[in-house]
Amino acid sequence: MSNTLMTSPFGSAQLLRRPRRPREVLQAWDAADLLLLQHMADQPPDGDEPVLLVNDRFGALAVALQQEGYRCVSWGDSAVAQLATVENTGRNGAANPQFLPATEVPTGQYSRIFFRLPKSHSLLRFQLERLIDLVNAGAQLIGAGMVKHIDRPTIDLIDSIAGPTQPSLAWKKARLIFFGEALGPADIQEDRQVTNLPEWDLALSNRANVFSRGKLDRGSRLLIGVMPQLSPPGQPRIADLGCGNGLLGLRALHHWPQAQLHFFDDSFLAIDSARENMAAHYPTTKAQFCAGDGMTAYQGAPFDLVLCNPPFHQEYDLGDHIARQMFRDAHYHLSPGGQLCVVGNRHLGYHQDLKRLFGKIEVIASDPKFVVLLAKKSG
């Protein structure tokens, strides 16, 4: 119970992470969340404007503040975070905050902005530039993170956008960052970055926080090279699971022009990038796009082929738990005889998880760092 029970100045709440895994060893909150909540308890706002929560990973801030009677708006780029927040507020009898995906920009008046600093510097820049107007309209902006993650490049980036900041003393290896009351006019840069791949006649748009933004991932290149070895039927249903900018799905459409494509990713900005790239390169081809926790919300027909380059971290937390969830989702949603094609670092040992699910698997490509595995669902 201690691993799931958060105690803050506003009481206790039971919080669970997503995706689920047995014998979870990580908590759904950390000391940076508790520091923000302590600051709120020590210095409550004067007005009744809502609190803007940025990157509230599993809803720890939303649950505590909504239980206390504050109105909250939650803004971030993770559909998993949104789902976890809904589950955790429900578990603790708290109201849900209003949710805004990263593809929308928060507007209006806020009393406080609690900004959990993201790992991605492109997302940090994207979000901070869009918060400046809210601060100039009267909101107090307070950043938070674990000390080991607030390194010099992160501070330099923050200072280049918002000017000098004031850090708090460290507490349990966490720290707050206080921003000035007026940050000057917002200088919003274009967040889209283009990756040119002339060998495939592709120019791919990448919004902030998209995996391998601005370059071709080596593992994806290896998987793309073996696509001709795959054997879906003539008009296949294909899923690009963890799609990022949609590269794997786009290359699949090159090989199987009659394919019905579905793109899945946790990131709202990644899904938006994949949608833009489909519209740019295949403007007359319909596809489906879903920001969510893998394929857990999918209720459509089974797939003939799932392509997957899974992440091996969730923000700063390393592990294969997201990949394992993706493999389970793929197995469940594949048709009999359907194929799952996965690329990953050799040391991650994905073949063991796939063998438990599918039985026999095949190594169809490898290099010194990556391996491409093919699994087939029994008929």
Tens-digit pLDDT profile for residues 320-374:
788 899 999 999 999 999 999 999 988 888 889 999 999 989 999 999 999 999 9
In the numeric block, which tokens belong to residue 273? Answer: 């990038």
Annotate 20-42 with b (16+ C-beta within 10 A) or e (fewer): eeeeeeebbbbbbbbbbbbbbee
Would you call 263 helix, strand, or coil by DSSP?
strand
Listed in sequence order, the DSSP H helices in the chain are 31-42, 60-68, 79-91, 121-136, 152-162, 218-225, 247-255, 268-281, 321-333, 350-358
pLDDT in tens, 188-224: 888 899 999 999 999 999 999 998 777 888 999 999 9
Q: What is the DSSP string of 18-57?
A: SS--TT--S-S--HHHHHHHHHHHHS--SS-PPEEEES-S
The total number of residues shown for the chain amounts to: 379
Q: What angle do CA 369, 371, 373 make, to 5 degrees?
A: 170
Name the pTM for this structure: 0.94
313 pLDDT more than 70: no
Contacts 24+ apart (CB under 8 A), 317-322: 317/26, 320/348, 320/349, 320/350, 320/353, 321/19, 321/21, 322/19, 322/294
Query: Which pLDDT score is estimated for 366?
Result: 92
- Give the integer Cα–Cα distance in Å for 112 and 66: 14
Q: In what order do the strands lie in the sheet with 303-308?
A: 287-291, 260-265, 237-241, 303-308, 334-345, 370-376, 361-366
- Give the integer Cα–Cα distance in Å for 324 and 19: 10
Would you call 364 helix, strand, or coil by DSSP?
strand
How many angstroms separate the most distant Cα atoms in the chain? 64
Q: What is the DSSP string of 82-95?
A: HHHHHHHHHHTTPP
Query: Which pLDDT score is estimated for 321?
Result: 81
In the numeric block, which tokens belong to residue 12? Answer: 């206790």
Q: Are strands 202-206 and 166-167 parallel, antiparallel or unpaired?
A: unpaired
Q: How many CA atoms lie within 13 A of 158 on its CB side?
A: 24
Whether omega for the bond prior to residue 44 falls within 30 degrees of 0, making it cis, is: no
If we measure between CA atoms, which residue out of 194, 192, 130 comes closest to residue 162? 130
pLDDT in tens, 77-134: 999 999 999 999 999 999 999 999 999 999 999 999 999 999 999 999 999 999 999 9
- Give the integer Cα–Cα distance in Å for 230 and 305: 9
- Give the integer Cα–Cα distance in Å for 61 and 82: 12
The DSSP 8-state label assigned to residue 228 in this structure reads G
In the numeric block, which tokens belong to residue 377? Answer: 């669902």
Q: Mean pLDDT throughout 229-242? A: 93
If we measure between CA atoms, which residue out of 112, 91, 77 comes closest to residue 6? 91
Radius of gyration of the chain (CA): 22
Q: Mean pLDDT throughout 52-63? A: 97
> Percent of the chain at pLDDT above 70?
97
Query: Which pLDDT score is estimated for 1?
Result: 45
